[in-house]
């Protein structure tokens, strides 16, 4: 399967090149078409339930003085990625940049790439144009996020095949790789749901409590904002019909983490089909918790300016405004000017976090 994936990417790259050469041989300027990724072409798609790219296309052509350099650079990136795939080697987007930072010739005072800010958007252009992810092009992203639970993964990497049992990773859990598709096989997933916990501290708490074992869930922490690999893993698990519950702070950052997992983000709207999980639900913490759990009333802290501003903005997003539960939640924050951290649940006793989650999930006390 791994072989097949990289072959598909190779084929797409080759086809791109062949089509361009055909244009050149026909005597016309070679062109490259990709979707526009600017805000103006990003819409919330109600039927999909997440942010997607619109129909606007952008074509760049070589024989045009305003586009020639960018066109050449795009092909250079594609050609280099093809080489990575053929060599079965991986690098980061910064590594790619350094591979392409060289002079165009002895008598030309110009580099193929001068800044990484030039090559980064071209990678995204290729991802969109070829409908694949940079991970498919052997470009790694930063790993972030840890997982534990009844799940077995087969990792074919560097010529080796390693079986990873996520239930046997001790206190540290399994670090989520940047690419969970190519060379990765989820051999066995035996769980009732997926729980995404914003903070690593809380994940460690729940891991120590054997929460995932008791509950039969896959316990994930993205350690803050979820990385591409982490979001992709969540999406894949959701596609295995597992419900996804997200557990974050009740503040601007926490909300953002939730909505990025659920509806995707502006920056990665072009990947939304692969990484947005619209079925995700918000389990806590919420303003309603203060009412439901007395002790929490004393553990709130003052909301910061950014939290209030964010809350105000969120009420205007169509994908949030349609949920009156969220509107009420945000209104409460704006009224009380208070926020609540998930850590506060350790107030009465450390293991209360697990009790709280179990109770809420059982009662399906979620925000949509």
Partner 1 sequence: MVCFMASADTIFKEFREHSVAEFFRKNRQMLGFAGKTRSLTTIVHEYVTNSLDACEEGGILPDISVKIESANNGDHCIVRVEDNGPGIPPKLVGKALGMMLAGTKFHRYMQQRGQQGIGASGCTMFAQITTGKPVHIRTGTGTGKVYECDLAVDLKTNRPLPANEKTVDGDFKGLIVEGEFGEVKYDKGEYGVFEYIKRTALANPHAQISFSGPDGDSAIFPRASSVVPQKGQEVLPHPLGITTHELIDMAHHSEDRKLTSFLTNNFARVSAAKIDELRTVMPNFDIDKKPAALTWPEAEEMTKAFQQMKWIAPSTDALRPIGKEQIEKALVNILNPEFMVVGDRKPKVFRGGVPFMVEAAVAYGGNAGRRTAEGAVGGSIIRYANRAPLLFDAGGCAISEACNSIDWNRYDMRDFDVMPITIFVNFVSVHVPYTGAGKQAISDEEEILDEIKRSVMECCRDVQLHLRGKARVGEREAKKKAIMRYVEQLARDLADLSGKGSAEQIQKKLVALVEGKYQKHIEEASLEEIAGEAAAVEHAANGENGNGEE
In the region spanning residues 124 to 153, those forming contacts with partner 1, defined by CB under 8 A, are 124-125
Q: Closest approach of Cβ 318 to partner 1, in Å?
A: 20
Q: Closest approach of Cβ 72 to partner 1, in Å?
A: 4
Q: Closest approach of Cβ 87 to partner 1, in Å?
A: 13
Rounded to whole angstroms, how far apart are CA atoms 128 and 8?
Answer: 15
In the region spanning residues 271 to 290, those forming contacts with partner 1, defined by CB under 8 A, are none
Q: How many residues interact with partner 1 (rule CB under 8 A)?
A: 52
In the region spanning residues 223 to 282, those forming contacts with partner 1, defined by CB under 8 A, are 266-267
Among 2, 31, 41, 152, contact with partner 1 (rule: CB under 8 A):
41
Is residue 98 part of the annotated active site? The answer reads yes
CB nearer to partner 1: give 231 or 338: 231
Q: Closest approach of Cβ 183 to partner 1, in Å?
A: 23
Q: Tell me if 170 contacts partner 1 by CB under 8 A.
A: no
Tokens of 152: 């077995």
CB nearer to partner 1: give 272 or 296: 272
In the region spanning residues 95 to 124, those forming contacts with partner 1, defined by CB under 8 A, are 104-105, 108, 110, 112, 117, 120-121, 124
Residues 6+ apart with CB under 8 A from 317: 44
Rounded to whole angstroms, how far apart are CA atoms 65 and 62?
Answer: 8
Element (DSSP H or E) covering residue 91: strand 91-92
Q: Which residues of 67-78 are buried (b: 16+ CB within 10 A; e: fewer)?
A: bebbbebbbbbb
CA angle 359–363–365, rounded 5-degree value? 95
CB nearer to partner 1: give 104 or 175: 104
Residue appearing with tokens 């409590």: 209
Rounded to whole angstroms, how far apart are CA atoms 218 and 241?
Answer: 13
In the region spanning residues 47 to 86, those forming contacts with partner 1, defined by CB under 8 A, are 56, 58-60, 62-72, 75-76, 78-79, 82-83
Contact yes or no for 196/221 (Cβ under 8 A): yes
CB nearer to partner 1: give 32 or 174: 32
Which position among 44, 50, 98, 193 bears the catalytic label? 98
What is the maximal distance between C-alpha atoms in the chain? 76
CA neighbor of 235 nearest in space, from 186, 197, 272, 185: 272
CB nearer to partner 1: give 53 or 320: 53
Could you give the C-alpha distances from 212 to 148, 195, 221, 237, in angstroms and in order? 7, 9, 12, 15
CA neighbor of 73 nearest in space, from 28, 42, 118: 118
Residues 6+ apart with CB under 8 A from 362: none
For residues 21 to 40, the per-residue mask of contacts with partner 1, x marking binding by CB under 8 A and - elsewhere, is: x--xx-xxxx-----xxxxx
Q: Closest approach of Cβ 93 to partner 1, in Å?
A: 12
Rounded to whole angstroms, how far apart are CA atoms 22 and 60?
Answer: 16
Catalytic residues, by residue number, are 98
Residues making contact with partner 1 (CB under 8 A): 13-14, 16-18, 20-21, 24-25, 27-30, 36-41, 56, 58-60, 62-72, 75-76, 78-79, 82-83, 104-105, 108, 110, 112, 117, 120-121, 124-125, 266-267
């Amino acid at each position: 399967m791994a072989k097949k994936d990289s072959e598909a990417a190779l084929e797409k790259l080759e086809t791109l090149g062949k089509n361009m050469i055909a244009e050149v041989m026909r005597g016309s300027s070679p062109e490259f078409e990709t979707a526009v990724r600017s805000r103006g072409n990003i819409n919330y798609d109600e039927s999909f339930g997440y942010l997607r790219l619109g129909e606007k296309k952008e074509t760049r052509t070589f024989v045009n003085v305003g586009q020639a350099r960018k066109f050449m650079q795009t092909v250079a990136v594609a050609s280099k990625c093809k080489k990575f795939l053929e060599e079965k080697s991986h690098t980061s987007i910064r590594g790619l940049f350094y591979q392409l930072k060289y002079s165009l010739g002895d008598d030309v005072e110009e580099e193929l790439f001068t800044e990484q800010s030039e090559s980064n958007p071209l990678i995204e252009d290729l991802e969109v144009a070829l409908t694949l992810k940079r991970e498919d092009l052997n470009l790694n992203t930063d790993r972030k996020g840890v997982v534990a639970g009844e799940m077995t993964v087969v990792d074919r990497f560097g010529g080796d095949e390693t079986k990873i049992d996520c239930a046997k990773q001790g206190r540290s859990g399994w670090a989520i790789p940047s690419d969970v598709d190519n060379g990765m096989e989820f051999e066995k997933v035996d769980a009732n749901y997926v729980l995404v916990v914003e903070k690593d501290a809380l994940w460690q708490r729940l891991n120590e409590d054997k929460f995932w074992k008791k509950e039969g869930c896959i316990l994930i922490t993205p350690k803050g904002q979820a990385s591409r690999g982490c979001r992709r893993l969540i999406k894949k698990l959701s596609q295995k019909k597992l419900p996804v519950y997200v557990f974050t702070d009740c503040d601007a950052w926490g909300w953002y983490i939730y909505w990025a997992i659920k509806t995707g983000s502006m920056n990665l709207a072009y990947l939304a089909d692969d990484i947005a999980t619209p079925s995700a639900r918000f389990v806590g913490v919420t303003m309603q918790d203060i009412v439901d759990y007395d002790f929490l009333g004393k553990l709130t802290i003052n909301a910061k300016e950014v939290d209030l501003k964010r809350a105000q903005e969120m009420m205007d997003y169509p994908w949030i405004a349609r949920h009156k539960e969220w509107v009420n939640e945000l209104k409460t924050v704006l009224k009380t000017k208070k926020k609540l951290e998930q850590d506060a649940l350790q107030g009465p006793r450390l293991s209360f976090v697990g009790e709280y989650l179990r109770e809420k999930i059982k009662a399906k006390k979620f925000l949509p």
